[in-house]
Amino acid sequence: MVEPTESRTPPPLVEEGFRGKVALVTGAGSGLGKAVATALANEDAIVVCADIDEGAGRATAEQLGASFTPVDVADLDSNHAAVQFAVDTHGGLDLVHLNAGIASPFGLGDDFDAEGYRKAMSVNLDGVVFGFHAARPALLARGGGSVVATASLAGLAAMPVQPVYGTNKHAVVGLVRALGPAHAHEGIHVNAICPGFADSKIIDPIRDMLGAGGVPIIPAQTVADATLRLFADTDAHGELLVIQAGNEPYYYKFRGLPGAR
């Protein structure tokens, strides 16, 4: 279980802080991405909804009066095309939510799925690597920007029932911790959200089990509100925002390592 070791929380939103900012959200067709796209649109950001599921992504965009671009986050060229669409359509890019992700409901025993393993790593990890690489030049052209990856509490705590999911989310956590300080001098903020079980279709296969176990499900809106506060935190570089039911979101801190002797 993750213990709150640090009380720093992202500051509240500044009025009109998102007005006119161009925001690209991957996985905007459903769940957390849809909630974040909606929250950004409500704050007067110019939102680009991106998803591999064109029907769902377009539906979100239409609902918000936003634009849509298809993307397969597991493909580098597709990430470049999505960023180019945002720049061509709206003149630039300020905010990027690298959020698209999939579950990996198998272990490494008899149920191992080698193809599923590659797919899960490519969507959940390559999607953040490629998404950041593709977005950086556009963010630099605006003098900087803010990138939030969707990791998970499974990136901070062991998840024995989905070890591959836990692995790629731990990798996203390690990546963001490194990218945050690496790109701070460019004015680019790179951070991650680490939600617990939240209301989206990804948890449908285990929803009954969670309910039976009394595990509270976080409303997608709660995740979106916290994500906007992270986007807006001008001091955050490489932070991991823990979002857990019944708790104020807070930045997770790892224990320090002993120095070499």
Ligand X SMILES: NC(=O)c1ccc[n+]([C@@H]2O[C@H](COP(=O)([O-])OP(=O)(O)OC[C@H]3O[C@@H](n4cnc5c(N)ncnc54)[C@H](O)[C@@H]3O)[C@@H](O)[C@H]2O)c1
CA angle in degrees (0–180, nearest 5) for 138-89-32 = 75
List the one residue out of 36, 24, 79, 23 whose CA is nearest residue 195. Answer: 36
Task: Please identify, among the stretches 87-95, 109-117, 200-208, 245-253, the one whose residues bind ligand X according to the rule CB under 6 A.
Answer: 200-208
Separation between Cα atoms, residue 152 and residue 242, nearest integer Å: 8
Dihedral pair phi/psi, residue 47, rounded to 5°:
-100, 135
Our CB check for ligand X shows the closer of 27 and 249 to be 27
Among 21, 23, 25, 27, binds ligand X (CB under 6 A): 27
Q: Is 30 in the site for ligand X (CB under 6 A)?
A: yes
Catalytic residue among 165, 250, 251, 252: 165
Q: Is 224 in the site for ligand X (CB under 6 A)?
A: no
Residues 121-150 that bind ligand X (CB under 6 A): 123, 150
Separation between Cα atoms, residue 147 and residue 79, nearest integer Å: 14
Separation between Cα atoms, residue 23 and residue 87, nearest integer Å: 10
Classify 22 as helix, strand or coil.
Answer: strand
Separation between Cα atoms, residue 97 and residue 260, nearest integer Å: 37
Q: Is 101 in the site for ligand X (CB under 6 A)?
A: yes
Least Å distance between CB 98 and ligand X? Answer: 8
Least Å distance between CB 199 and ligand X? Answer: 7
Q: Is 74 in the site for ligand X (CB under 6 A)?
A: yes
Our CB check for ligand X shows the closer of 17 and 199 to be 199
Q: Do the bridges between strand 46-51 and strand 67-70 make them parallel or antiparallel, or are there none, so unpaired? A: parallel
Separation between Cα atoms, residue 96 and residue 27, nearest integer Å: 12
Dihedral pair phi/psi, residue 258, rounded to 5°:
-65, 145
Task: Please identify, among the stretches 135-143, 199-207, 208-216, 234-242, the one whose residues bind ligand X according to the rule CB under 6 A.
Answer: 199-207
Q: Is 69 in the site for ligand X (CB under 6 A)?
A: no
CA-CA distances (angstroms) from residue 62 to 28, 47, 259?
A: 12, 11, 54
Task: Please identify, among the stretches 9-17, 89-97, 190-198, 252-260, the one whose residues bind ligand X according to the rule CB under 6 A.
Answer: 190-198
149 to 188: interface string for ligand X, x by CB under 6 A? -x-x------------------------------------
Give catalytic status of residue 165 as yes or no: yes
Q: Is 198 in the site for ligand X (CB under 6 A)?
A: yes
User: Can you name the residues that pair with 193 across neighbouring β-strands?
Assistant: 150, 241
- Residue 196 tokens read as 């617990």
User: Can you name the residues that pair with 145 across neighbouring β-strands?
Assistant: 188
Our CB check for ligand X shows the closer of 17 and 105 to be 105
Residues 36-55 that bind ligand X (CB under 6 A): 51-53
Question: Where does this chain bind ligand X (CB under 6 A)?
Answer: 26-27, 29-33, 51-53, 56, 71-74, 99-102, 123, 150, 152, 195, 197-198, 200-203
